[in-house]
Structure 1
Amino acid sequence: MRPLISVAMPAYNAEKFIRAAIESVLRQKFQHFELIVIDDHSEDNTYQIVRELTGDARVRLYKNTRRMGETDTKNKILKLARGKYIAALDADDLMLQGRLKDHCEFLEKHPEIGAVFGRGFVATENLERVIILIPPTIRQDGKVLRGSCRAKELPYDFNQGMATIKKEHILKAGRFEASLPIGEDSRLMRRLFKITPFYFLNKPCFIYRIQKKGVCHSRLRENFKRMHDVFTAKKRQMPKIQYFYVNKQWLRVRTDCYKLMRAIRWRLNFYSWVKKQRKSNERIVRLDLKTPQKKAARVTDPELFACGFMNPLEQQLIKRNETFLEAALVSRGERGFLIVADEKVRSEAVLAFLSQDYCYCSANSPILYLKSKDVYGKSFVDPLVLYDSASVGVKKRNVWGRFWNPILKKYCINTFFYRTYLTGDVCRIEKVLFINFNPTFQRLRSRSLNASELYSRLVRDNYAKLYLRYAGRPDIFKKISLRAGGFSVSVGPNGMLKLAEMLKH
């Protein structure tokens, strides 16, 4: 008899907690399930511990002959799964009693629902203290549809351990993305959220254990260490040649100016950190950078990055009819929205748009290019360093979705959180928003701009000059002024969210 539910458990060096995780599944009163455990070539006793539990016929144990990584292992489990539904559980988490029974009974009674999820507890490693409930604000049973108030925190505050999902929908959504360094499960949840309704059952279903040496924490620590190494490296330690993988192509950067390389490595640290082997047929953009004309000691890191790196790179882009604009770019489907404002206001606007289910493309320097009769935009390198006013005055500690950056000494949005969950693709520039923040305004005020006004502001305003003075392309901005709608917007403290909500339609 085929099982109704396949419980997926990838495991790597999980000897400390995997026995408790498996036993929490086997204790379920619901019996029509299989538990698929794949040991990803662990270096400890993970495989031996699971093998001791295979006396239960519901446990299916496999071992990778080489280290495949968590994403490929999850996709392998999907191929092996015989169940109609998939319930994921990490090897260090715990499944609470009733999860399989409650979720399966609900999905069988409501075939129009593709996924059901319950309440989760985020706890310390030894389970002595509950840190947070997830999702934190939804309290009542009910369907979660896109655009509803219930959907605002999903799939951002979401963990795969809370959900039981129809296998056919996971396959339709494209499985897990192996190209992502972290967050592949939440990226899949986002795609699932677009193709099927979710239903929330307000019942505890799992415990998420935060380990001091867990994957997410270790990767964040590794990224911080890289940033710290970049800022503290001495001149003789800084490499003269560095490769970055950006926008599906390789950048080979060479410079003798160590301060310039430091500025570049800080801005592009995420792109050098992604581990990817270069294929022989992949294109390489070679940038041999000279020391800026001004003495490096007198120039700030942002100025070095702008004149020492962005200018030469733009010369390469111009050959392909592309250019930069100092603005933010968010998208909704294929519709792109350029946000032109000073840095702090731009950051506040991006956060407001992201909270309304827009996709992040760039907070600082999107690439613009002509295609047919329209102007399109796509993301480019920036470290997603956004000001977060909600954190002002808060104790310096990491909270959900943001972290305290010890290098910049301010709160920033978690780079992985938005890079992997919300990164948009190519979009057509539909609207250009010139946003002015005024704390005295009680309501949103907007004025449409005609084509000449839009072009004038794009070319002449201070925040558009940064890259325009480095051989920007006026023809692209003329095309934007003709094809996109321009608006001058004045907002107060609550105006950003209203603006993002208004532009949805």
Structure 2
Amino acid sequence: MITSPKVSVVVPAYNVRSYISEALVSLERQSYQEFEVLIVDDGSTDDTAELVKPFCRRDSRFQLLQKSNGGLSSARNYGIRHARASYIALLDADDVYKPNKLANHVAVLDREPEVGVVYSASQAIRDDGSPTIMRLSGKPVMSDPLLALLCKNFIGHGSNGVFRSCLVDEVGEFDEGLRSSEDIDFWLRIAATGRWRFYREPKVLCCYRVRPSGLSFNITQMQHSHEQVLKSAYERSPELVEKVLPTAYAYMYRYLARLSLTAGDAAKAVHLINQALAANSSIFYRDPRSLLTLVAVRLAPLAKLVIKRSLGSVEYRANN
């Protein structure tokens, strides 16, 4: 075990037997080695813990912490409370770090004391680990990070940010009452202090696994949690947040409409895109991605009808 690690990597894990080894191997292969890994088994009912134990036996930097199930935020907080380092990295157990992830971000935090959070571009991967065409670019913050985060999560996902541990003392832990969007809530609280910069590394240093059965596809839950996040942000900084709140809601509904479409629920996608239009229709002519989502959602019911009729025609010809 390293006496004074520079980075504590917190890995929350719940029933991830298919992915946990790949995540931990990606940490073993880091070019930067002054770290500890805190794997928090959040009451798994599969053999996740048994798969972690060999890593702990061969490398004392890896520690298995076990607790009763409390959800993602609870597991992250449990790991953070056991962390000994100045910097904290989060890695969800189904995601993967590129070999230079920690080296790059530690160098930035060491060099630039005004930076509180470092993040990078990410590559989306499929369930089997193969890359998709989707890349989360992590666009640089050109304006106030608080206002930018309210509309779009430029960090991308919960495994991407590496931050100073002192920020937890400053803004509090992850909100255990949220079942989704808890990472956005945490970044928003850091941004609201006005004291810390968010630094973006344009290289792809992280892989984010897209799993249709994962938490991100519980759309109703996501909507409820994100609405709570926006409400909390408004209560903290009403005068600042008020002017972008309609746009923030529009982007939220647009994102959820896209997820609904991906999940095959065209009716819900239409409902959500209508809510986005009602909140702030201007995003659809200012943002090409928003316009593309609108067109895709509007065409989805028609495409479904055409396919249904085509299949019906095929069936008729087959039976006659």
TM-score by length of 1: 0.46
Match of 1:456 in 2: none
Q: Where do residues 97-496 of structure 1 align in structure 2 (5 Å cutoff)?
A: 97-135=99-137, 138=139, 146=144, 154-155=152-153, 158-195=156-193, 196-217=196-217, 219-220=218-219, 333-335=237-239, 353-355=245-247, 398=258, 406-407=266-267, 410=270, 412=272
Change in Cα spacing, 1:112 to 1:47, as seen in structure 2 (3 Å) is same
Deviation track 1:432-466 (CA, whole Å, cap 9, x = no partner) reads xxx9x9x9xxxxxxxxxxxxxxxxxxxxxxxxxxx
User: For residue 21 of structure 1, what is the amino acid of its counterpart?
Assistant: A
Secondary structure of 2:115 counterpart: coil
Q: In the alignment, does 2:56 pair up with 1:58?
A: no
The residue aligned with 1:232 is none
Q: Do 1:37 and 1:60's aligned partners in 2 also have CA atoms closer than 8 Å?
A: yes
Secondary structure of 1:160's aligned partner: coil
Unaligned runs of 5+ in 2: 287-320
Residues matched between the structures, number: 269
**Residues 260, 268 of structure 2: 8 Å contact kept:** no
Q: CA separation in 2, counterparts of 1:94 and 1:109?
A: 25
Shift of 1:173: 1.5
Displacement of 1:157 after TM fit?
A: 5.5
Give the secondary structure class of the aligned counterpart of 2:12: strand
Check 1:32–1:414 CA distance in 2 against 1; reply closer, same or farther (3 A cut).
Answer: farther
Distance 1:409 1:62, change over 3 A: closer
CA RMSD, aligned part only? 4.1
SS in 2 for 1:398: helix
- CA drift of 1:402 comes to 9.7
Does 2:16 match 1:18?
Answer: no
Q: For the structure 1 residues 32 and 157, does the alpha-carbon distance in structure 2 shift closer, same or farther, using more than 3 Å as the test? A: closer
Long gaps (5+) in structure 1: 225-268, 275-329, 339-349, 364-383, 392-396, 418-434, 440-492, 495-505
> How far 1:181 sits from its partner (Å)?
2.1
Could you say what secondary structure the match of 2:159 adopts? Answer: helix
- Amino acid of the residue matched to residue 398 of structure 1? R
Q: Aligned partners of 2:99 and 2:240: how far apart in 1? A: 45
Please give the secondary structure, in 2, of the residue aligned with 1:155.
coil
Q: Structure 2 vs 1, CA of residues 125 and 71 (structure 1 numbering), >3 Å: closer, same or farther? A: same
Matched AA of 1:193: A
2:83 to 81, 88, 91: 81
Distance in 1, matches of 2:65 and 2:51, equals: 13
Aligned to 2:307: none
**1:43 corresponds to:** 45
| In 2: Cα distance, 1:82 partner to 1:385 partner | 36
Whole-angstrom distance in 1 between the partners of 2:274 and 2:5: 39
CA–CA distance in structure 2, aligned partners of residues 147 and 63 of structure 1: 35
**Residues 45/113 of structure 1: CA separation in 2 closer, same or farther (3 Å cut):** same
- Between the two structures, name the one with larger relative contact order (CA 8 Å, sep ≥ 6): 2
| Alignment partners' CA distance in 2, 1:91 and 1:177 | 19
How far apart, in 2, do the equivalents of 1:63 and 1:178 lie?
A: 17
In 2, Cα distance between equivalents of 1:411 and 1:157: 27
Task: State how far apart, in whole Å, the 1-side matches of 2:39 and 2:269 are.
Answer: 42
Once residues 52 and 93 of structure 2 are traced to their aligned partners in structure 1, the CA distance between those partners, rounded to angstroms, is 11
CA distance in 1, matches of 2:11, 2:160: 14
Question: Are the structure 2 counterparts of residues 400 and 354 from structure 1 closer, same or farther at C-alpha, using a change threshold of 3 Å?
Answer: farther
Q: Tell me which stretches of 4 or more aligned residues in structure 1 moved more than 2 Å.
A: 142-145, 147-158, 330-338, 352-355, 397-409
- TM-score, normalised to structure 2, is 0.71
CA drift at 1:133 = 1.6
Letter in 2 for 1:94: V
The residue that corresponds to 1:9 in the other structure is: 11
Q: 1:144 to 1:115 in 2, by over 3 A?
A: farther
The answer on whether the counterparts of 1:145 and 1:151 sit within 8 Å (CA) in structure 2 is no
3-state DSSP class of the match of 2:180? coil
> Would the alpha carbon gap of residues 147 and 200 (structure 1) be closer, same or farther in structure 2, given more than 3 Å must change?
closer
Instruction: Name the amino acid aligned to 2:204.
Output: P
TM-aligned CA distance change 1:154 to 1:84, over 3 Å: farther
Larger relative strand fraction = 1
* 1:405–1:412 CA contact under 8 A, matched in 2: no
SS in structure 2 of the partner of residue 212 of structure 1: coil
What corresponds to 1:264 in structure 2?
none
State the shift of 1:170 in Å.
2.6
Deviation at 1:411, TM superposition (A): 5.1
State how far apart, in whole Å, the 2-side matches of 1:78 and 1:25 are.
17
| CA gap 1:44/1:33 in 2 versus in 1, 3 angstroms | same
Q: Which has the higher helix share?
A: 2
Offset at residue 205 of structure 1 (A): 1.1
Aligned-residue offset at 1:119: 0.9
Measured in 2, the distance between the counterparts of 1:337 and 1:113 equals 23
3-state SS of the aligned residue for 2:38?
A: strand
Larger-Rg structure = 1
1:120-144 deviations in whole A, cap 9, x for unaligned? 11222123332422236x2xxx676
Letter in 2 for 1:39: D
For residues 324-354 of structure 1, what are the alpha-carbon distances to aligned partners after superposition, in whole Å with 9 as ceiling and x for unaligned?
A: xxxxxx959223999xxxxxxxxxxx9x754
Q: CA deviation at 1:13?
A: 0.4
Question: Are the counterparts in 2 of residues 6 and 86 from structure 1 also a CA contact under 8 Å?
Answer: yes
Tell me which of 69, 83, 88 is aligned to 1:67: 69
